[in-house]
C-alpha cells in the first residue's frame, strides 16, 4: 500500500534575513560609489592635463614661428577710432584679444582663427559704425574643447547682450604677482608683469632667467560652485570686468597673489585695495593677507586638493592647495619678505631658488 508523500517544505527568506541582505548590498554600493567617482575624476584630471599640454604645444609652436611667446592680451588698438568716454581720453580703442585667440592656428583651430577680424575689437563699443562683438560673434561664440576642463561646470554663455560673444574657458595665462589689472601708468601704457604673460608685452626664452622649468605659464581657472556672475573666464576676451557683490573679474589671466582655490572675496576693494607699496612697486598687494583670499583673481579648479599648471618647459604638474604661500605678515619689512614657493614659481626673472620637491 502506497502512502501519499508529505507536502514538501518550502524555504524562503525571513524578514530579518531580507533586511540583512539589503543592508549588505547597500554597504557594497556605498563602498563602490567613491571608487567609481574617483576613477571618473582621475580620467577628467588626465584629460585636463592633456588640454594644458596641447595649449603648451601651441604656445611653443607660436614662439618657434615668431621668435617670441605670444602676448597675454592685446588691450588697446591705435588703428581705429575710439569710443567716447574710454580710459584713453578718446585716442585709443579697447581691443581685448587674448593669448588663447593668438594660438588658435597652433592648436588645430585655424578655421576659428581665420574667421576673427583682429582689425576690430573682441567686443565693446562701435568701430566704423559697426559693433565689433557682432563682427567676431561667430568665431568668438565657438566652444573650443581644448580650452575647457571636463571637471569644470559646463554652462551656456550668458545672454548679457547680443553685441558680444562669450565662450567658456577653464584656463588662464599666468601674469605673476604684480597688480597689472587695477593699476596702470596711464592708458594705453600697461604695467610690465613679473610673470610669463602680460598685456601688450611679449617675451623671449632668454627673458626667463629663473628657467622655464621653474615658471608657470598657464593654470586652471574654472568657475566657482554656484558662481553669482555669468561672465567669469572666457578665452575670447581678456579685459577687466566689473561684476556683482562688489567684485571685479579678470578675463584670460590669473595671478598667484591669492592662494590656490581661494574662495570669492566679496567687497574686494575694501579688503584688498589696489595700492602701491612703499617702494612704488605694484606688488604691494602680495603682502596683504586679505588679498590671498581674493579667488576671483587667482587660479581655481574643480579637482580635489589642488590644480594643474603648465610650466614653461612643457610639463604639466599638479600644485596642491597647501603649497607654501610665504610670509603671511601684512606689509613686512623688505628684509623679512618671503613670497613663498607658489608665487616664486610665477615670476620669470625674480631670482628665487625653488627646491625640486617644493610642490
Which H/E stretch holds residue 46? Answer: helix 15-66
pLDDT tens for each residue of 238-274: 888 888 888 889 999 999 999 999 999 998 888 888 7
Contact indicator for 251, 238 with CB cutoff of 8 Å: yes
Asked if residue 26 belongs to a domain, the reply is no
Asked if residue 64 belongs to a domain, the reply is yes
What proportion of the chain, given as a percentage, has pLDDT over 90?
A: 41
Asked if residue 65 belongs to a domain, the reply is yes
Contact indicator for 94, 125 with CB cutoff of 8 Å: yes
Q: What does the pLDDT read at residue 229?
A: 82
Asked if residue 235 belongs to a domain, the reply is yes
Q: What does the pLDDT read at residue 84?
A: 44
CA dihedral 296, 356, 287, 243 (to 10 degrees): -10
3-state secondary structure (DSSP) of residue 283: coil
Short-list 257, 115, 114, 290, CA closest to 180: 257
Contact indicator for 207, 193 with CB cutoff of 8 Å: no
Q: What does the pLDDT read at residue 36?
A: 62
Asked if residue 2 belongs to a domain, the reply is no
Asked if residue 35 belongs to a domain, the reply is no
Which stretches of the chain score pLDDT less than 50?
A: 82, 84-86, 159, 278-280
Q: What does the pLDDT read at residue 172?
A: 96
Asked if residue 22 belongs to a domain, the reply is no
Q: What does the pLDDT read at residue 219?
A: 97
Contacts of 335 (CB under 8 A, 6+ apart): none
Q: What does the pLDDT read at residue 227?
A: 85
Q: What does the pLDDT read at residue 188?
A: 67
According to DSSP, the β-strands at 253-254 and 171-174 are: parallel
Q: Structurally, how many domains does the chain consist of?
A: 1
Q: What does the pLDDT read at residue 353?
A: 74
Supply the DSSP symbol for 106: G
Task: Give the Cα separation of 284 and 185 in Å (integer).
Answer: 16
**Containing structural domain, residue 330:** 51-344
The burial class, CB within 10 Å (0-12 / 13-18 / 19+), for 142 is middle
Asked if residue 245 belongs to a domain, the reply is yes
Amino acid at each position: 500500500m502506497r502512502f501519499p508523500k508529505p507536502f514538501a517544505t518550502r524555504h524562503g527568506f525571513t524578514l530579518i534575513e531580507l533586511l540583512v541582505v539589503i543592508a549588505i548590498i547597500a554597504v557594497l554600493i556605498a563602498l563602490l560609489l567613491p571608487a567609481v567617482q574617483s576613477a571618473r575624476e582621475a580620467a577628467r584630471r588626465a584629460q585636463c592635463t592633456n588640454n594644458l599640454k596641447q595649449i603648451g604645444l601651441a604656445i611653443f609652436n607660436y614662439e618657434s614661428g615668431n621668435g617670441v611667446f605670444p602676448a597675454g592680451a592685446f588691450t588697446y588698438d591705435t588703428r581705429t577710432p575710439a569710443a567716447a568716454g574710454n580710459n584713453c581720453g578718446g585716442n585709443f580703442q579697447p581691443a581685448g584679444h587674448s593669448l588663447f585667440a593668438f594660438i588658435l592656428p597652433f592648436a588645430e583651430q585655424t578655421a576659428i582663427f581665420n574667421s576673427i577680424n583682429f582689425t576690430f575689437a573682441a567686443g565693446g563699443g562701435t568701430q566704423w559704425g559697426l559693433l565689433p562683438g557682432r563682427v567676431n560673434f561667430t568665431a568668438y561664440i565657438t566652444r573650443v574643447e581644448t580650452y575647457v576642463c571636463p571637471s569644470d561646470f559646463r554652462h551656456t554663455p550668458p545672454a548679457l547682450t547680443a553685441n558680444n560673444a562669450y565662450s567658456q574657458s577653464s584656463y588662464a595665462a599666468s601674469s605673476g604677482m604684480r597688480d597689472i589689472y587695477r593699476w596702470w601708468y596711464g592708458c594705453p601704457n600697461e604695467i610690465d608683469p613679473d610673470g610669463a604673460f602680460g598685456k601688450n608685452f611679449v617675451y623671449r626664452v632668454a627673458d626667463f632667467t629663473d628657467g622655464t622649468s621653474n615658471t608657470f605659464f598657464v593654470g586652471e581657472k574654472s568657475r566657482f560652485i554656484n558662481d553669482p556672475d555669468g561672465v567669469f573666464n572666457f578665452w575670447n576676451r581678456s579685459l577687466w570686468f566689473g561684476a556683482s557683490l562688489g567684485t571685479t573679474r579678470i578675463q584670460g589671466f590669473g595671478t598667484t597673489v591669492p592662494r590656490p582655490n581661494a574662495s570669492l572675496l566679496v567687497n574686494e576693494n575694501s579688503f584688498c585695495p589696489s595700492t602701491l607699496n612703499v617702494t612704488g612697486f605694484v606688488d604691494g598687494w602680495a603682502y596683504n593677507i586679505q588679498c590671498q583670499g581674493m579667488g576671483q583673481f587667482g587660479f581655481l579648479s574643480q579637482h580635489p586638493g589642488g590644480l594643474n599648471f603648465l610650466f614653461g618647459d612643457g610639463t604639466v604638474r599638479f600644485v596642491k592647495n597647501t603649497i607654501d604661500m610665504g610670509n603671511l605678515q601684512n606689509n613686512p619689512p623688505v628684509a623679512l619678505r618671503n613670497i613663498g614657493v607658489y608665487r616664486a614659481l610665477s615670476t620669470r626673472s625674480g631670482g628665487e631658488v625653488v627646491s625640486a620637491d617644493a610642490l
